[in-house]
Homo-oligomer: A and B are copies of this chain.
């Protein structure tokens, strides 16, 4: 074995990764999935205007992006009603979470999240030597009181909180989020992941307040806007925090086509509304399919539905395996008791018909 002189932090990291892509599963299976409803992508696609923007911009791909993300940032500023100085655009929420951990976490510092919440956040915490502290979900929702309590106990630098939540699809009212922010100790920053906000009922998000340096809001073009493959997320925060990202981000890291696509997608509110409507219908259809198989579903404010398989994690994992064997790409929570569920993304009618056909067989095979 060759001795590679890695830093102590990196040398201590596992070679594992948060998610295996469906493409690798397809390669290993030797055949494609018939329904890609496992990664909470938007099967309804991006706005036709975004597609047109990418196609029109493709010949310009020889030029580096505008490192200021000027046009997209201005459009977001107008859309959100906050100054551009409060907005940081980056390579997806994943990329921004990595930068966030790096901005605020010294090696050994505590960072608090929920056991079973977004693994990529945990991946970044480990990657910068942070000490991850978890609290359990409560009634299939993240538990704000427990998160705040742990933040005090551990003197946490960051608390991660997704609202709506992934992987359960649950959510809290805006007032609860505000109470969580108020309950944090001095010097703790809340990473409020609102990737699924467009699918949630009114009253889920507290008003944006960029004078509040206790919270960073994360949003994305990957979900409702259907641009997961273009890597564009944004953070909304106090301008002093937003400015700190400029000290470490990869300034030319966006693609020029991403900037064009996100800009066009933001302007197409009719497409967004259409997607939100289709997702709501798909959630109902997933619930109907589950009920027809004697299973219950959790309420969801996202573009996916957690189906409670009614037994333990081993059983749900067997159901998942049998669905995958029947060419249905789905995923599931990683930690008990959440892992009694499988997680099914909103699909097209064709996707969900394939799922409906496979589920009874999968349940039977899982025994």
Chain A residues engaging chain B, CB cutoff 8 angstroms: 1-2, 4-8, 10, 13-15, 17-21, 23-24, 27, 36, 39, 41-46, 50-51, 54-55, 58-68, 70, 91-92, 94-95, 98, 102-106, 127, 157, 187, 189, 213, 222, 226-231, 238, 240-241, 243-244, 246-248, 250-258, 261
B10 touching A248, Cβ below 8 Å: yes
Task: List chain B residues, Cβ under 8 A from A98.
Answer: 250
A255 touching B240, Cβ below 8 Å: no
Task: List chain B residues, Cβ under 8 A from A60.
Answer: 229
B227 touching A62, Cβ below 8 Å: yes
Of the candidates A42, A250, A251, the one having the most CB atoms from chain B within 10 angstroms of its own CB is A250
B91 touching A8, Cβ below 8 Å: no
Also in contact, A256 and B243, with CB within 8 A (given A39-B64, A61-B54, A248-B13): no
Also in contact, A21 and B257, with CB within 8 A (given A54-B54, A55-B55, A252-B231): no
Can you tell how many copies of this chain the complex includes? 2
A sample of 16 cross-chain residue pairs with beta-carbon separation below 8 angstroms, ordered by A number, consists of A1-B240, A5-B104, A5-B187, A7-B102, A7-B103, A10-B103, A13-B248, A19-B251, A41-B63, A51-B59, A62-B226, A63-B228, A91-B250, A94-B250, A127-B248, A255-B255
Task: List chain B residues, Cβ under 8 A from A8.
Answer: 106
Also in contact, A229 and B7, with CB within 8 A (given A51-B59, A70-B27, A94-B252): no
B253 touching A231, Cβ below 8 Å: yes
B55 touching A58, Cβ below 8 Å: yes
A229 touching B256, Cβ below 8 Å: yes
Task: List chain B residues, Cβ under 8 A from A258.
Answer: 255
B253 touching A213, Cβ below 8 Å: no
A226 touching B36, Cβ below 8 Å: no
* A261 (CB) vs chain B CBs: closest residue: B61
CA distance A15 to B36 in the complex (A): 43
B240 touching A94, Cβ below 8 Å: no
CA distance A134 to B203 in the complex (A): 55
Task: List chain B residues, Cβ under 8 A from A246.
Answer: 15, 17
> Within the complex, what minimum Cβ distance (angstroms) separates A29 from chain B?
14
A229 touching B64, Cβ below 8 Å: yes
CA distance A68 to B24 in the complex (A): 8
Task: List chain B residues, Cβ under 8 A from A45.
Answer: 59, 61-62
* 7 extra A-B contacts, CB within 8 A, seeds A229-B256, A231-B254: A5-B157, A7-B105, A10-B247, A13-B247, A61-B230, A65-B229, A230-B255
> Within the complex, what minimum Cβ distance (angstroms) separates A181 from chain B?
15
- Partner of A55 from B54, B227, B244 at Cβ < 8 Å: B54
A6 touching B255, Cβ below 8 Å: no
CA distance A362 to B173 in the complex (A): 62
Task: List chain B residues, Cβ under 8 A from A13.
Answer: 247-248
3 pairs of A and B residues whose beta carbons are closest in the complex: A229-B256, A23-B66, A54-B58
Task: List chain B residues, Cβ under 8 A from A248.
Answer: 10, 13, 127
Also in contact, A54 and B250, with CB within 8 A (given A7-B102, A46-B61, A62-B43): no
